[in-house]
Amino acid sequence: MLKGDLKAQEDLCKQYYGYVMRIAMRFSSCHDNALEIANDSFLKIFRKIDSYQIDKEFKPWVRKIVVNTGIRLL
């Protein structure tokens, strides 16, 4: 799937970057801190992609990761 597939990871980043940043900006009005949340979230998404259940919607799964990352980095 995405694990180890750099092109697929790049495509996912391009598709979800705005969505992830909007969520991250809710945790920090500082762009640099929000960017750190987003970057950490994408790393977690790539590492945990095998745990994603294909029969579920992807966007809520991504949101949960970003929210949990934002909470941890506060």
Residue 5's pLDDT is 86
Give the E-state strand segments of the chain in sequence order.
none
With respect to residue 62, please indicate whether it lies within any of the assigned structural domains: yes
With respect to residue 44, please indicate whether it lies within any of the assigned structural domains: yes
Burial of 34 (0-12, 13-18, 19+ CB in 10 A): buried
Rounded to an integer, the average pLDDT of 64-74 is 95
With respect to residue 66, please indicate whether it lies within any of the assigned structural domains: yes
Residue 2's pLDDT is 62
With respect to residue 1, please indicate whether it lies within any of the assigned structural domains: no
**Position 4 pLDDT exceeds 80:** no
With respect to residue 60, please indicate whether it lies within any of the assigned structural domains: yes
* Cα→Cα distances 39→53, 54, 56, Å: 22, 23, 23
Residue 3's pLDDT is 66
Among residues 45, 33, 43, the alpha carbon closest in space to that of 70 is found at 33
Residue 68's pLDDT is 98
The count of structural domains within the chain is 1
pLDDT in tens, 10-61: 999 999 999 999 999 999 989 999 999 999 999 999 999 999 999 999 999 9
Q: Cα separation of 41 and 27, whole Å?
A: 13
